[in-house]
A and B are shown apart, each in its own frame.
Chain A
Amino acid sequence: MSTLIKQEIFKLARKRSTWLSTIILVVLQVVLALIVNKYPDVLSIESIYMDGFLGLELIFFFMVAACSSIITMEFQYNTAKELFYRKYSRGQILISKWITLFLYSVYWFILTYVVTFGLKLIFFPHFDLTKNVGHGTTLVISQLQYVGSQFLSYWLILTLVLLLANLFKSSAVATSVGLIGYFLINIVSGLMVLLIEKWDWIKWNPLTMLMYPAQVQENTTKAITHLTINELFTGNVIYIVIFLGIGYVIYRKRTV
Chain B
Amino acid sequence: MNNTLEIKHLEKNFGKKKILTDISFTVTKGHIVGLVGANGAGKTTIMKAILGLVGFSNGTITINGESVSLNKHQALSKVGALIENPGIYPYLTGWDHLRLFAEKNITKSMMTELVSALKMDKYIHQKAKGYSLGMKQKLGIALAFLNNPDFVILDEPMNGLDPQATFDLRQLITTKANEGTTFLISSHILGELEKLAKDLVIIDRGQIIKQTTTYELLSTGEKYFVLQTSDDDRAQQLLLDHNFNLKEDISILVPNIDNNSLANALKVLINNNIDVLDVQHKDNDLEVSLLELLQHGEEGVK
Chain A residues engaging chain B, CB cutoff 8 angstroms: 3, 7, 10-11, 14-16, 73-74, 77-82, 84-91, 252-253, 255-256
Contact = CB atoms under 8 A, between A and B. Distances in A.
Nearest to B83: A81
Interface of B: 48, 51-55, 70-74, 76-77, 79, 81, 83-92, 96, 99-101, 103, 143
Contacts of B143: 82
A85 B89 contact: no
A10 B100 contact: yes
B74 A85 contact: no
A87 B83 contact: no
Given A82-B143, A87-B77, 7 more contacts: A10-B96, A81-B81, A85-B76, A85-B83, A87-B76, A89-B72, A253-B70
Contacts, number: 77
A124 to B, nearest CB: 39
A255 B100 contact: no
Contact of B90 (A77, A84, A86): A77
A85 B88 contact: no
Contact of A87 (B73, B84, B86): B73
A89 B52 CA distance: 9
A177 B129 CA distance: 29
Nearest to B92: A14
Contacts of B55: 253, 255
26 contacts: A7-B100, A7-B101, A14-B89, A14-B91, A14-B92, A14-B96, A74-B87, A77-B87, A77-B88, A77-B89, A78-B84, A78-B85, A78-B87, A79-B88, A79-B89, A81-B53, A82-B101, A82-B143, A84-B52, A85-B73, A85-B83, A86-B76, A87-B76, A89-B71, A90-B70, A255-B54
B74 A87 contact: yes
Interface centre among A73, A84, A91 (most CB of B within 10 A): A84
B186 to A, nearest CB: 15
A11 to B, nearest CB: 7
A82 B73 contact: no
A8 to B, nearest CB: 10
Contacts of A10: 96, 99-100
Contacts of B70: 90, 252-253, 255
A3 B84 CA distance: 26
Nearest to A7: B100
Nearest to A83: B87
B91 A15 contact: yes
A82 B87 contact: yes
Contact of B52 (A3, A11, A79, A85): A85
B96 A78 contact: no
Contacts of A89: 71-73
Contact of B87 (A3, A16, A81): A81
Given A77-B89, A253-B70, A256-B53, A85 B99 contact: no
Nearest to A252: B71
Contacts of A79: 87-89
7 smallest CB-CB distances across A and B, nearest first, come from A79-B87, A85-B51, A87-B77, A82-B87, A78-B87, A255-B54, A87-B73
